[in-house]
Amino acid sequence: MEVQSVLHMNSGVGDISYAENSTFQQKMIASFAKTARQEAAVDSFRAAICPTKMTIADLGCSVGPNVLQMASEIIEAIAQASHQLNRRPPEMQVFLNDLPGNDFNTLFSLLPEFYELRETKLQETDQEQVPCFISGVPGSFYVRLFVSKSLHFVYSSNSLHWLSQVPQMQLQDGSEAPLNNKGNVVEGGHMVLTFMARRSSDPLAPMDFDGWELLAKALRDMVSLGLTEEEKVDSFNLPWYAPSMEEVKDEITIQGSFAIKKIELFDINWDDNSQEAPRNDHNYNPVAKSTLTMAKASRAVLESMLKSHFGEAIIEKLFERYCFLLEEYYSKYKAEVTNILIVFERK
Amino acid sequence: MEVQSVLHMNSGVGDISYAENSTFQQKMIASFAKTARQEAAVDSFRAAICPTKMTIADLGCSVGPNVLQMASEIIEAIAQASHQLNRRPPEMQVFLNDLPGNDFNTLFSLLPEFYELRETKLQETDQEQVPCFISGVPGSFYVRLFVSKSLHFVYSSNSLHWLSQVPQMQLQDGSEAPLNNKGNVVEGGHMVLTFMARRSSDPLAPMDFDGWELLAKALRDMVSLGLTEEEKVDSFNLPWYAPSMEEVKDEITIQGSFAIKKIELFDINWDDNSQEAPRNDHNYNPVAKSTLTMAKASRAVLESMLKSHFGEAIIEKLFERYCFLLEEYYSKYKAEVTNILIVFERK
C-alpha cells in the first residue's frame, strides 16, 4: 500500500466525511492537551524574547473545524501573553500540514468565515488585532517540510500513530520517530504531540479498547460471507502504531535535539456518552448513538485505505457488520482509548 | 456577485478543467516574461546579499502544471546564480496563492511528481540540491496575505486583470492597484507582473481582439432564444479590467513603494495556430482547432461566474453559440491580445 496516496480522511463535508465525524478528535483537543499546547506556545514566544513574527505548524492537520479551532486557541494564548508582557502581539504565520491527498479545498473553504469571526470577536473585545496568515503545506511529516530554523512552535494532534509506510512484519516492535522536522524548530521552540499509545510495554498485550480487533472481526466475517478472500484480510496491514511511553522516551533520547518537559498518558472515551438525551426523546438510545458516532468516525478515517485494498463493493456491508459488533461491545463495555501527551523543548 | 466565492478556474483535470485548458496562459509564461521573472528573482537574491533562505510568492497561481513550472524556472535561475557567485543556493519557500475556491487539491496532487522530478534532475546534473518547500495560501491578493517583510520575490501571471469586486458602473475608469501586499516585500525585493492590458488610453476604444464582445453577443443570442432575460445580461458584469500603460504607471506612482525597472506592452496570439497539422491529417482544420482551444479556455475561466449568474441550464447552449461566433471570427482575423509586463523593485 502506497501510504501517501491512500491514507487520507474522507473528504468533503457530507454524512461520511471526516469534517463531520471527528467527535473523538474534538474531545482530545478540548481535553487538557489544549492547555499544554497553549502553555508551550507561550513558552516558545517568551523563549524567542517576544518576537514580532511567529511561525507555528500543525502536523497532520486533516480537515474540519478542529484544525482552525486549535490554531485559534494558540493565537489567542499568545495574544494574551503579549498583552500581559506589555508587548505588541506578533504576526502569526500558521502552516497547516497534511498529505497531498488531504482535502485542503474543504479546509480552505472554512477560512473566510474563520477570518470574519476573528475580526468580529476582536472588535467586540476591543483587543489589538493579531494579523494571522494561514497556509497549507502538502507533504508527509516524515520528510522535511519547512525551511530550517523557521518554526517557533509545532503541534500535532491525533496523527503520529499513522506511519509513513505499512509495517513489513505483522507486528512492528519499534515506533517511528516523528522528529524529522527537528532541524526546523528554532532553539527554545516547543513541540506538543498527542497521539494514541498503549499502557503496556508489551506490544502483544491487548489494548483496553481495541477498535482494530472489531474491524478485523468484521473483515473475517466478510470472508465467511464470501465477499473477500482470507489472503486479502491477512495481507491488510494498517500503517498504524501505538507505542508505549518507554518507546517514545527512547526515540526522543536517541534523536537528541529535544528535552522532554512533560510526558503523560491519558484516557479518552471513544464514544459519545457525553451527549445527553434530547429532551422529550423517550426513545433515545445512548448505545445506538455511540455506535453510530464511532462507526462513522472509523469510516471517515479508514475508508480510503479499505477501498484501496478490498475494493469499493465491500464497504457498505463491512461497516454494517462493524456497526453490529460495535453495538454488541458498547452494550457491555466502556470504550476508553489511551493517548500520550508530550511537551518538548528544542535544546 | 460575490467575487471571492464565484471567481475560480474550473477545477479538476477533466476535459473542461483549467488545468487542461491553459494553452494561452502557458504561452504567456513561455514568452519573454519568463526571462524577466528569472532576472528579477536573481536581482532579489543579489539585493538580499545571497541569503540562506528565500521566500517567493505567486499571486493568483490558479491550478495546473504552469504553476509549478514557473516556480521551478525561478528556483533554477537562483540556483545557477548562486553557483556562479560561488555561494550555497538558498533554501526556497514558495507560496502559491489563489482564492479559497481555487482547486488546491488538484494543484497539490501534482507535488509528489514535481519533487520526484527535481530530485532525478539534480542527480543527473550532479548539482547541489536546493531544498524547496511549497505551500498554498488561500485568500484574495487584494488583502494582506503575508507576514511583513517576508517576501524576496513576488510574481503574478495572467491574474491581475481580475478585480476584487464587480465594477459598480458599466465602465470602470481606474484600475485597482494590485499592490496591497507591498508591505511584505523586503527592501531590494522584486515583483514581476504580467496581465492583460489595452494599447489605447481611451477605456472605450475597442480592443484588437475582444473575446468579451463575442461572449456578450452569444449571451444576447440566448435572450433571442428565450433562454435568459435581457435584464440578466445587462446586469452581468465581469470583475475584469485591462488598464492602459499610463493607468498602471499612475497607480504605481501613487502607491509609492516601488520603482519601475521595466514596463512594456506585448501581444500574444489568443489561438492555437502555432500548432502544426499532424502528419498525414488532410482534414486538419486550424480554424476549428483554434476555436475549440479558445472556447475551452474561456469556459475553464468563466464557467463558475456564468453559472452563478445565469444558472447551469444555459451553459452548454451558450458555449455552443460562442464556438460558432469564434469560428466565424477566426476565419477572418488573427486573435491577438495585448498584455503588460512590469518589473518593480521595492524602494
| Interchain CB contacts (distance < 8 Å): A and B | 81
Question: Could you count the other beta carbons within 10 Å of the beta carbon of residue B239?
Answer: 18
Mean pLDDT by 10 residues, chain A (347 residues): 60 66 62 87 89 93 86 92 90 94 92 86 71 93 89 87 57 40 73 87 69 86 89 83 89 88 84 54 69 78 85 89 86 80 90
Nearest-CA distance A77 → chain B (Å): 19
Q: What is the pLDDT of residues B219-235, one digit of tens each?
A: 999 999 888 888 888 88
Q: Please indicate whether residue B96 or residue A169 has the higher confidence score (pLDDT).
A: B96
Domain range B3-346, its CATH number among 1.10.10.60, 1.10.357.10, 3.40.50.150, 3.40.50.300? 3.40.50.150
Q: Please indicate whether residue A233 or residue B31 has the higher confidence score (pLDDT).
A: A233
Among the partner-chain residues A131, A136, A150, the one whose CB lies closest to the CB of B136 is A136
B14 pLDDT above the threshold of 60: yes
Report CB contact under 8 Å: A100, B93: no
Instruction: List, as one string, the DSSP characters of B285-300.
Output: -HHHHHHHHHHHHHHH
Pure H helices in A240-339: 245-255, 286-310, 315-330
Nearest-CA distance B159 → chain A (Å): 20
Q: Contact, B295 vs B289, CB < 8 A?
A: no
pLDDT of residue B90: 93
pLDDT confidence bin for B196, thresholds 50/70/90: confident
pLDDT confidence bin for B170, thresholds 50/70/90: very low
Contacts of B95 in chain A (CB under 8 A): 135
Strand spans (E) along A142-209? 151-157, 185-196
Q: What is the pLDDT of residues B45-72, one digit of tens each?
A: 998 887 899 999 999 898 877 899 899 9
Q: What is the pLDDT of residues B110-124, one digit of tens each?
A: 999 888 888 887 777
pLDDT of residue A136: 97
pLDDT of residue A271: 59
pLDDT confidence bin for B270, thresholds 50/70/90: low
Q: Of A277, A255, A54, which is closest to residue A151 (Cα–Cα)?
A: A54
pLDDT of residue A169: 42
Q: Of A136, A140, A214, A213, which is closest to residue A176 (Cα–Cα)?
A: A140
Among the partner-chain residues A91, A112, A150, the one whose CB lies closest to the CB of B100 is A112
B312 pLDDT above the threshold of 60: yes
Report CB contact under 8 Å: B53, A147: yes
For A70, A84, B88, the CA distances from A124, given in Å and listed in that order, are 21, 19, 49
Strands B185-196 and B151-157: parallel
Q: Contact, A87 vs A122, CB < 8 A?
A: no
B-side interface with A, Cβ within 8 Å?
4-5, 11, 53, 91-93, 95, 100-101, 103-105, 108-109, 111-112, 131, 133-139, 144-148, 150
Strand spans (E) along B13-128? 53-58, 91-98
Selected residue of A133, A181, A184 to mutate for chain B interface (largest B Cβ count, 10 A): A133
φ and ψ at B240, to 5 degrees?
A: -140, 140
Residue A125: all three cell numbers together = 473585545
Mean pLDDT confidence for B283-312: 79
Least confident of A303-317, B33-47, B173-187, B304-318: B173-187
| Domain range annotation of chain B | 3-346
| DSSP conformational letter for A321 | H
Residue A42: Cβ-neighbour burial (10 angstroms; 0-12, 13-18, 19+): buried
Contacts of B142 in chain A (CB under 8 A): none
